[in-house]
């Protein structure tokens, strides 16, 4: 037993020594071969992850005066460049877009986005362009937005009515949650002619809970995203929960698509986004859409809901902060 304990200790020590040596030598070699933007040094293995704290955007903003608008840091084993000003971000997203089009294959892309087959995680190429063309033509383009304006107006009206009823009952209004519900319902009606968040119906409530949980899991900090070599260990159990929920989500999505196809005659002359996507299936070209691609496209709309809701949330609370500052500066006015 003592021999086994000593052997285990020696193996652990050798493994830690190997990791530290590997990162030290690699950092020295990269320092001689590449010129990188300035940034904090960070810790071995973890990189700059401990420096980000509970609010990474605040920590990064505090580093700008010292390191400038473009910073380089290692987050775990991942090389990351941060653009902190609009002009810097524009350079990456517009001028140099052809060099930075793809996203890493993190566990969320594999286990939630059908192995990175949705519009968000799919590598830039012919299929991604076909996805974007479909989305712009039938959902996000100027003409499509004009056609879906009545749906947006109706959902905003329902949201405002809900806020009004809460105010009458002296209940707190959770604006980010209400915006998320409204956006999900808009996208659901445009995509599959169906509201996602409703007060009645066990299936709709089940769908709502799974969407919310997938959004929550996708936004959690996952150490495997930053140190891919240990992602297979799933130390936090996030991947296991993603697989479980996505399995149920996929089954419900298949059922909803089947019901949507059965009700095609009711939408004759007024097709939704899924109708246009289904028309693209079965075509004999190199970009033939399979059923998995269709599910990935629909699932990808969830990211749109999350992104837009976060944007509106920041705008709203930014305005509240401005009002608060103005009130503090003019207490007697």
List the domains of the chain with CATH numbers: 31-100 (no CATH), 108-329 (1.10.630.10)
**Cα 185 from Cα 328, distance rounded (Å):** 38
Contact 298, 274 (CB under 8 A): yes
The pLDDT, as a whole number, for residue 173 is: 83
User: How much is the pLDDT for 324?
Assistant: 47
- What global pTM score does this model have? 0.66
List the beta bridge partners of residue 303: none
CA distance 151 to 69: 41
**Per-residue model confidence (pLDDT) at position 320:** 47
Q: What pLDDT score does 73 carry? A: 92
Q: How many helices (H) and strands (E) does the chain have?
A: 14, 2
Name the CA dihedral angle for 24, 27, 33, 35, rounded to a multiple of 10 degrees: -150
Tell me what pLDDT residue 209 has: 75
DSSP SS3 for 244: helix
pLDDT recorded at residue 63: 92
**pLDDT for position 284:** 47
Separation CA 138–CA 209 (nearest Å): 28
User: Facing residues of 79 across strands?
Assistant: 74
Q: What is the mean pLDDT of each run of 10 residues along the chain (333 residues)?
A: 65 73 64 75 86 88 91 90 87 83 83 83 84 81 83 88 88 78 80 71 64 78 87 88 87 83 77 80 64 80 53 49 52 51
């Amino acid at each position: 037993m003592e021999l086994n304990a000593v052997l285990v200790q020696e193996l652990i020590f050798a493994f830690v020594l190997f990791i530290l040596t590997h990162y030290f030598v690699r950092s020295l070699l990269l320092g001689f071969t590449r010129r990188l933007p300035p940034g904090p040094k960070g810790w071995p293995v973890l990189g700059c992850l401990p420096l980000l704290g509970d609010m990474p955007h605040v920590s990064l903003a505090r580093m700008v005066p010292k390191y400038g608008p473009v910073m380089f840091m290692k987050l775990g084993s991942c090389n990351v460049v941060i653009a902190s000003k609009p002009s810097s971000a524009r350079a990456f997203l517009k001028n140099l877009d052809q060099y930075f089009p793809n996203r890493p294959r993190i566990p969320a892309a594999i286990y939630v986005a059908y192995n990175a087959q949705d519009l968000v995680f799919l590598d830039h190429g012919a299929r991604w362009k076909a996805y974007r063309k479909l989305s712009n033509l039938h959902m996000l383009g100027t003409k499509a937005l004009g056609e879906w304006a009545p749906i947006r107006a109706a959902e905003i009206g329902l949201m405002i009515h809900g806020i009004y009823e809460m105010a009458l009952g002296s209940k707190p209004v959770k604006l980010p949650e209400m915006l998320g519900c409204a956006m999900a319902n808009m996208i659901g009606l445009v995509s599959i002619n169906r509201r996602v968040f409703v007060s009645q119906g066990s299936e709709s409530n089940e769908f709502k809970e799974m969407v919310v949980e997938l959004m929550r899991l996708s936004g959690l900090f996952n150490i495997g995203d930053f140190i891919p070599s240990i992602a297979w260990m799933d130390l936090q159990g996030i991947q296991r929960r993603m697989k479980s929920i996505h399995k149920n989500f996929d089954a419900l999505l298949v059922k909803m698509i089947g019901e949507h196809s059965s009700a095609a005659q009711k939408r004759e002359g007024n097709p939704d986004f899924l109708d246009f996507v289904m028309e693209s299936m079965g075509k004999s070209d190199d970009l033939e859409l399979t059923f998995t691609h269709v599910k990935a496209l629909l699932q990808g709309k969830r990211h749109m809901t999350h992104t837009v809701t976060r944007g509106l949330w920041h705008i709203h609370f930014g305005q509240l902060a401005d009002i608060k500052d103005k009130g503090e500066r003019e207490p007697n006015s």
